[in-house]
Structure 1
């Protein structure tokens, strides 16, 4: 008997571990619930709810293929290897199949699982299904990791044109008569995620709708939070309900010259997928950043202010800056925040308030439905100027100018700040009782972040 072990790959299609397992013999499936680990990783209650819904959709699809799904609860990853081996011995499992993950604890879990399975003479087969290109394979001519996004992107595009197979794996072979798997209940606090797709079919429909209606204008509309102009596929990508490869494959079907840079909106969206890729490759090759470290070692010399009252005000959307406050309330009320606003809020926390980016990273992860460790960490270190190819330390967003530029009529602000409903568009963007004055905050940040002045900018 073969066993496929599901993680953040909650889909039937483009799932190499599932596909290969089903090819090699009768297959059963397993999923480990790890409440303590998820709490340590700050998984948001709304993402737990989405995970539960996605698991139940997956369970139904596996049942149609004649595959039983066994759900086992353990506290954390360290408890998995022993339980996995015991399950394999009890059920006469000869081989385990799984798709690899990029985070430090997940990699450690797989190394330990490999060891105990090998000792028990059970095969362990890992596949890569999260990235377009295997982490570690996009390197300079000297064999080093790219330290700047643009040359990394160009190398990716060359590989995607010439050598990478972008065809998603097909659905697996049917294993037997349909069965009915039991409902799955995750034993953690949850917040309703029903506004978001949770099945493969819904995710695919969302992707096609975005490609058909929005992607050609993406480069012009993506920065305006009042518009519904982004794909909003982040939650599905984070849990593996859909894969990055599927996104690029179907985008290529609609825009065959995409990889040659001949379709502006689609190319800009592809760049966003490649930023996701970039942060994953960095995570694998620099595991210390998965443990709270700055990517740039000079950043350890930044003296953070870390004022608790300021942080509470930022969390609650009470900074006095309308765009920042509306964005934080969007996060708190919906579990999601527009990407432009993530940059504005992260810049405000780290540069205006001089609060350690790790505080913001944790808060976002605790609330985001699309919480993804590599992307969240990469985005926060980018905003804080501590990361790989981060924004320069002297680039400090002016929240009032950002507001005027990207929400000119105040449509977004008025959704989340009811008290600003009657204010005209000119006055709407001005701060009211701000917790810090912009000019002062900017000068203070420039001084504090000047420890990064000598950082090197290498093209790889």
Structure 2
């Protein structure tokens, strides 16, 4: 560490909020009584589980931590960056510095909750407190409740109440820039390279954090067609907080009511994760679905992963995700349904594979989407609604443009036959689901 100071300082811990502007926790840190020093931790607890040493998301995070440092250097400050387990880092920091308080923004995932509880205990021994603020959502936890004072489990009434409660107070940006003078004046921090942490940088052209107004104004027409560049691709920026949800919601209100609805879906799944934490621990939202007898076929799962199922739309989606870390949302539903209902393989395998591959992976949204497709979640498609991949392709990729892009061998002898018959798979799925649900 290059920071040497004996004065009392406030630390701000960056996590899913990699920006200086309109950052709730940072705003409150800068208005505290002591100079602010930012901290970022490349968390070994998470990174040690990554099999892919060229994970694109790490390149994105590293680029944005470096960008934060440049911004801080321009105002005469800097950031402490570590590679380690958060509890070890915070023990070291609490012993080396006179810490007044530690500010951060709330992360609602189960691991994050456990981690923050452990860090708070460490800080408490040094008479410091971990103060966490709402930043990645407009409404959190139990802010949107039904007339019965319970969390919503159906999207439509939730979205209606979300819109009723949302006003300028919730959408206003935090004026962080007014308080930049309260950063501690120092420079000279060194950020560990990806190579020093045992990873490799990828040559990645990440999606822009700016959404063209024209795209949102045509969102309703094009968003269901995977061959069109008609979706925002901003998920990675929301995941790591390089954009402000308040700014994005205001922008959506100006240009697309339907796109705003997608942002509300994101918040709906976040509050489901907060209020029903079992969904983040491998359990179905609807308990009877845990009784489904899933098969396990390693070869079948691998064909799904590789995009070699013989169903062109499924294969195109999987190959797109494997190649660029993104899959069109319509196709995510089809591929998820195919794994769980056509192949009758445990949806948790697919959920984990998406988590490994998607640039915009977010536990709440990923889990919510998978459970929707399976039938076990909130607002779920009825279990007897089983997507026909061929019908979906005809409807949403009528010219085969998306399929031809990702499955160039379509129509040749090199393309495999369908690995399972649709009618047989449908009947098998209905039988397995019915057997499990009749127990409840």
Per the normalisation by structure 2, the TM-score is 0.91
Instruction: Measure, in 1, the Cα distance between the counterparts of 2:112 and 2:313.
Output: 36
Give deviations 1:60-94, integer Å, cap 9, x for gaps. Answer: 122223332111222x4xxx235314313412221
Per the normalisation by structure 1, the TM-score is 0.87
Correspondence for 2:141 among 135, 152, 158: 135
Query: Is residue 2:291 matched to residue 1:307?
Result: no
Correspondence for 2:266 among 276, 280, 283: 276
**In terms of mean alpha carbon deviation, does 184-193 or 407-416 score higher?**
184-193
Query: Is residue 2:11 matched to residue 1:3?
Result: yes
Query: Is residue 2:14 matched to residue 1:38?
Result: no
> 2:171 aligns to what SS in structure 1?
coil
Instruction: Measure, in 1, the Cα distance between the counterparts of 2:438 and 2:135.
Output: 38
Name the structure, 1 or 2, with higher relative contact order (CA <8 Å, separation 6+).
Answer: 1
Instruction: Measure, in 2, the Cα distance between the counterparts of 1:191 and 1:308.
Output: 31
Correspondence for 2:65 among 38, 55, 62: 55
- The Cα shift of 1:376 comes to 0.8
> 2:119 aligns to what SS in structure 1?
helix
> 2:40 aligns to what SS in structure 1?
strand
Query: Is residue 2:286 matched to residue 1:296?
Result: yes
Aligned match of 2:26: 18
Instruction: Measure, in 2, the Cα distance between the counterparts of 1:442 and 1:383.
Output: 14
Give deviations 1:342-388, integer Å, cap 9, x for gaps. Answer: 11100100010001110001111111111111111111111111112
Correspondence for 1:29 among 24, 33, 38: 38
- The Cα shift of 1:119 comes to 2.5
**In terms of mean alpha carbon deviation, does 164-173 or 51-60 score higher?**
164-173
Contact 2:300 2:343 in 1 (8 A): yes
Instruction: Measure, in 2, the Cα distance between the counterparts of 1:284 and 1:41.
Output: 25
Instruction: Measure, in 1, the Cα distance between the counterparts of 2:109 and 2:247.
Output: 22
Contact 1:168 1:249 in 2 (8 A): no
Query: Is residue 2:220 matched to residue 1:219?
Result: yes
Instruction: Measure, in 1, the Cα distance between the counterparts of 2:424 and 2:69.
Output: 55
Query: Is residue 2:92 matched to residue 1:86?
Result: yes
Aligned match of 2:4: none
- For residues 233-272 of structure 1, the aligned pairs below 5 Å read 233-252=234-253, 254-255=254-255, 266-272=256-262
Contact 2:82 2:191 in 1 (8 A): no
Instruction: Measure, in 2, the Cα distance between the counterparts of 1:437 and 1:447.
Output: 16
- The Cα shift of 1:317 comes to 0.5
Extract unaligned runs of 5+ from structure 1.
256-265, 424-430
Contact 2:18 2:240 in 1 (8 A): yes
Instruction: Measure, in 1, the Cα distance between the counterparts of 2:51 and 2:114.
Output: 19
Contact 2:78 2:186 in 1 (8 A): no
- The Cα shift of 1:183 comes to 4.0
Contact 1:138 1:152 in 2 (8 A): yes
Closer/same/farther in 2, CA of residues 411 and 421 from structure 1, 3 Å limit: farther
- The Cα shift of 1:180 comes to 5.6
Contact 1:35 1:188 in 2 (8 A): no
Aligned match of 1:105: 111
> 1:420 aligns to what SS in structure 2?
coil
Contact 1:414 1:421 in 2 (8 A): no
- The Cα shift of 1:30 comes to 0.9
Instruction: Measure, in 2, the Cα distance between the counterparts of 1:358 and 1:42.
Output: 18
Aligned pair count reads 424
- The Cα shift of 1:454 comes to 6.9
Instruction: Measure, in 2, the Cα distance between the counterparts of 1:119 and 1:27.
Output: 21
Contact 2:11 2:39 in 1 (8 A): yes
